Amino acid sequence: DAGITQSPRHKVTETGTPVTLRCHQTENHRYMYWYRQDPGHGLRLIHYSYGVKDTDKGEVSDGYSVSRSKTEDFLLTLESATSSQTSVYFCATAPTGGLNTEAFFGQGTRLTVV
Amino acid sequence: AQRVTQPEKLLSVFKGAPVELKCNYSYSGSPELFWYVQYSRQRLQLLLRHISRESIKGFTADLNKGETSFHLKKPFAQEEDSAMYYCALSGSSNTGKLIFGQGTTLQVKP
């Protein structure tokens, strides 16, 4: 398996609280991504990073922020969690941003907002 | 609009039967198409991509630009093929961003 670990793996939090999910990689991949997985929607891109301190928005970025202070770590923060953010969150990495590049995924984090 | 559509939420077949998981896409340029698979309790992983034109675990996929489809096929399904399958599209240059379909659960019955 690729050296991509997500923490925590499971979390239950209350509406209105901030939450941070962490993605750590040992592959030295330049690109990192956060997706959310929801029934009927597949995976949708939240934010991505193309280098240290270089990030950009994805399709469903509202209510989320990210930071990447070093190559290995990509943090996803829910600034004020809402029930609509209950989902499974996947981190992915890729060595390049090329059209044919393979993405490598973490195990996922199941987040429940109550 | 850029979109990937997998019309079947669930596909259930018997072992040894042929399998076809459908994928249609909408994209204005020339995208690259992928199939990713998630087996139970495992990570999402690449199964195959169009540019490789290879057969992985007996699966093949042909890109039909006229019909904008990238259906995944296997002539004889095995029980270990049971999994969630996602079709994905990469169209933007130099970002590696993927657009996923809704996913199809393949259930292969003994």
Q: What is the pLDDT of residues B84-105, one digit of tens each?
A: 999 999 986 778 999 999 999 9
The tokens describing A60, both together, are 């469903």
Tell me, yes or no, if A38 comes closer than 8 A to chain B by beta carbon. no
Decide: A60 and A36 in contact? Cβ < 8 Å: yes
Mean pLDDT for the stretch of residues B56-65 = 91
Q: Within 13 Å of residue A90, how many CA atoms lie on the same side as its CB? A: 22
Q: Rounded CA gap, A24 and A105, in Å?
A: 11
Q: Within 13 Å of residue B103, how many CA atoms lie on the same side as its CB? A: 19
Residue A100 has pLDDT above 60, yes or no: yes
Q: What is the pLDDT of residues A85-95, one digit of tens each?
A: 999 999 999 99
Tell me, yes or no, if A34 comes closer than 8 A to chain B by beta carbon. no
**Three-state SS at B62:** strand
Residue-level pLDDT at A97 = 85
Q: CB neighbours (10 Å) of residue B22?
A: 17
Q: What is the pLDDT of residues A70-88, one digit of tens each?
A: 999 999 999 999 999 999 9
Mean pLDDT for the stretch of residues B10-22 = 97
How close does chain B come to A32, measured CA to CA in Å? 9
Does the beta-carbon distance from B100 to A33 stay under 8 Å? no
The tokens describing A5, both together, are 């670990």
Tell me, yes or no, if A62 comes closer than 8 A to chain B by beta carbon. no
